[in-house]
């Protein structure tokens, strides 16, 4: 895949993460004070955005120094990387009173990332996905899992260290396999009871310890539809900050046999011809619909249907 083209929303973060610089607290502090440095803001999981000239939205950056003042120490700050020469930080206002009524009044509005993602330039969506994933990690990892002591942010926010047992903790990313089972000129989609009526999507599940991507894919297809997998083809990945997933998109050829939904995760599985899948993904199949372009499932169905 050419690296200039990103199939999936939330991929394509253009910042140079400059990970070598994270371990230099003086350099990070200097950049935070630098009037040229910027910061994005996230409040209770919602990024601050603003109107973009010509339509749509974009990240509403504030001066990094202002973020530094609002941060009340390292726990709410994250060094995101460099955009050319400009250092970019992220500020987490989790639990604060509505900042749009306070110090950030008039500087932007806080929106659900999933709602606003397709309205943002791709690079902005990817930068926000990175920041959100990091803050979700932090929110669920304030304590050392080894000994139970409160841990402390380190390395510009990319590491947590336990002052008691000295254990180091790094951001967690959970690999999820998400796959389109195919058999010749048909593909299988499933629907969960909780989804809006008529919605069908790819099958998916968390990869477990001791599994290769291909094994996890075959297990999920077996568990959810009772079908055996013959072969697995990698398509693409999507960072998915809800809270910390890496969606690994696959297209899997399955063996003969009757597909039966497991009834735990899926209430129905349904075969679609290639033409039906093409119509489905373009929104035109009566009584059935697929996830929108935000979801890697959409890209998987589209890639197979239009191949």
Residues near a copy of itself (CB under 8 A): 1-3, 6, 8, 10-13, 17, 19-20, 126-127, 129-131, 133-134, 137, 140-150, 158, 167, 169-175, 206-215, 218-219, 223, 229-232, 234, 236-239, 241, 244, 246, 248, 262, 264
Q: Give me the DSSP letters along 19-44.
A: HHHHT-HHHHHHHHH-TT-EEEEEET
Least CB distance to a copy of itself at residue 49 (A): 17
Distance (Å, whole) CA 72 – CA 74: 7
Place of tokens 């000129």: 185
- Residue 296 three-state SS: helix
Distance (Å, whole) CA 162 – CA 127: 28
Cβ neighbours for 1, distance < 8 A, ≥ 6 positions apart = 7, 236
Could you tell me if 89 and 79 are in contact, meaning their C-beta atoms sit under 8 angstroms apart? yes
Q: Which is nearer to a copy of itself, 175 or 293 (CB)?
A: 175
Distance (Å, whole) CA 210 – CA 10: 28
Q: Which is nearer to a copy of itself, 6 or 272 (CB)?
A: 6
Q: Which is nearer to a copy of itself, 39 or 131 (CB)?
A: 131
Distance (Å, whole) CA 14 – CA 6: 11
Least CB distance to a copy of itself at residue 73 (A): 19
Least CB distance to a copy of itself at residue 212 (A): 4
Going by C-alpha positions, the residue among 141, 43, 132 that lies closest to residue 95 is: 43
Angle at 240 between CA 269 and CA 47, to 5 degrees: 130
Going by C-alpha positions, the residue among 114, 41, 44 that lies closest to residue 78 is: 41
Q: Which is nearer to a copy of itself, 128 or 280 (CB)?
A: 128
Distance (Å, whole) CA 32 – CA 14: 20
Q: Which is nearer to a copy of itself, 109 or 219 (CB)?
A: 219
| Number of other residues whose CB lies within 10 A of the CB of residue 228 | 12
Least CB distance to a copy of itself at residue 44 (A): 16
Q: Which is nearer to a copy of itself, 103 or 206 (CB)?
A: 206
Least CB distance to a copy of itself at residue 235 (A): 9
- Residue 271 three-state SS: strand
Could you tell me if 243 and 137 are in contact, meaning their C-beta atoms sit under 8 angstroms apart? yes
Q: Which is nearer to a copy of itself, 51 or 140 (CB)?
A: 140
Least CB distance to a copy of itself at residue 210 (A): 3
Q: Which is nearer to a copy of itself, 54 or 210 (CB)?
A: 210
Distance (Å, whole) CA 127 – CA 233: 28
Least CB distance to a copy of itself at residue 267 (A): 16
Least CB distance to a copy of itself at residue 178 (A): 13
């Amino acid at each position: 895949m050419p690296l200039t083209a990103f199939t999936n929303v939330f991929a394509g973060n253009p910042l140079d993460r400059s990970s070598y610089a994270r371990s230099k607290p003086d350099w990070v502090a200097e950049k935070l004070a630098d009037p040229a440095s910027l910061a994005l803001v996230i409040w209770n999981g919602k990024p601050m955005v603003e109107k973009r000239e010509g339509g749509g939205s974009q990240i509403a950056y504030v001066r990094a120094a202002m973020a530094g003042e609002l941060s009340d120490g390292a726990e709410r700050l994250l060094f995101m990387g460099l955009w050319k020469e400009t250092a970019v930080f992220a500020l987490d206002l989790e639990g604060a009173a509505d900042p749009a009524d306070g110090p950030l009044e008039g500087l932007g509005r806080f929106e659900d990332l999933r709602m606003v993602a397709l309205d943002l330039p791709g690079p902005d969506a990817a930068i926000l996905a990175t920041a959100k994933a990091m803050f979700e990690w932090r929110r669920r990892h304030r304590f050392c899992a080894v000994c139970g002591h409160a841990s402390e942010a380190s390395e510009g926010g990319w590491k947590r260290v336990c002052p008691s047992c000295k254990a180091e903790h790094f951001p967690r990313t959970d690999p999820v396999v998400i796959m389109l089972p195919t058999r010749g000129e048909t593909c299988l989609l499933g629907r969960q009871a909780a989804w809006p009526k008529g919605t069908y999507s790819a099958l998916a599940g968390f990869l477990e310890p001791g599994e290769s991507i291909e094994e996890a894919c075959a297990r999920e297809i077996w568990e959810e539809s009772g079908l055996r997998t013959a072969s697995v083809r990698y398509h693409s990945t999507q960072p998915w900050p809800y809270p910390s997933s890496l969606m690994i998109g696959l297209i899997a050829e399955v063996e003969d046999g009757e597909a039966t939904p497991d009834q735990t995760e899926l209430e129905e599985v349904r075969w679609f011809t290639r033409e039906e899948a093409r119509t489905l993904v373009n929104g035109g199949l009566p009584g059935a619909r697929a996830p929108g372009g935000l979801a890697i499932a959409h890209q998987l169905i589209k890639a197979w249907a239009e191949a």
